[in-house]
Structure formats: C-alpha cells, structure tokens
Amino acid sequence: MAIQYFWRHPLAEQVREEGREQGLQQGLEQGRLQKQQEMTLNVMEWRGIPVPDAVRERVLACTDLDQLEVWAQRALHATDAAQLFADE
C-alpha cells in the first residue's frame, strides 16, 4: 500500500494554492495603498508645502484607496497640508 503524505494530497495542494493567491492579492492591495499614500505626500513636498507629522501619520494610516485618491487630488491644489482634510 502506497503512503500518500498529507502535503502531497490534492486537498493540501489546493489549500496551498488558495493561500498563495490570497497572499498575492493582499500584497498587491498593500502595494497600491502604499503607492497612493506616498504619492499624496510627495505631491505636497514637491510643491514646497510643509507636511506636519500629524498629516503624514494620518495619510500613512489611511487604508481606503478612494479616500487617498481624493487627498491626492486635493494635494495638487492645496496651499497648506491641512487642506487635504478640508471637507472632513
């Protein structure tokens, strides 16, 4: 009788594949968040607008891509960092 080890079992292979796919998706999402956070802060800095630590921390803590997009657009026209959060 052949021994079928658990890690070679089709169910184990399926679980590993699902884990890889989920990890990949989470990694991609995290990368998009990080890129948008950096872009928002970089636009302010490129425009010569000082970014206080409180603003930097709030942007870096945000995990909502839509909100980060709004802030990035505001960064294009803001005259100070507080204007990122003007409507809130």
In the block, residue with structure tokens 């990122």? 84
CA–CA separation, 84 and 71 (whole Å):
5
Q: What's the confidence (pLDDT) of residue 48?
A: 95
pLDDT in tens, 25-73: 788 888 899 999 999 999 999 999 999 999 999 999 999 999 999 999 9
Of 61, 56, 58, the closest CA to residue 45 belongs to: 56
**Distance (Å, rounded) from C-alpha 45 to C-alpha 41?**
6
| Cβ neighbourhood burial of 36 (10 Å; 0-12, 13-18, 19+) | buried
pTM above 0.75, yes or no: no
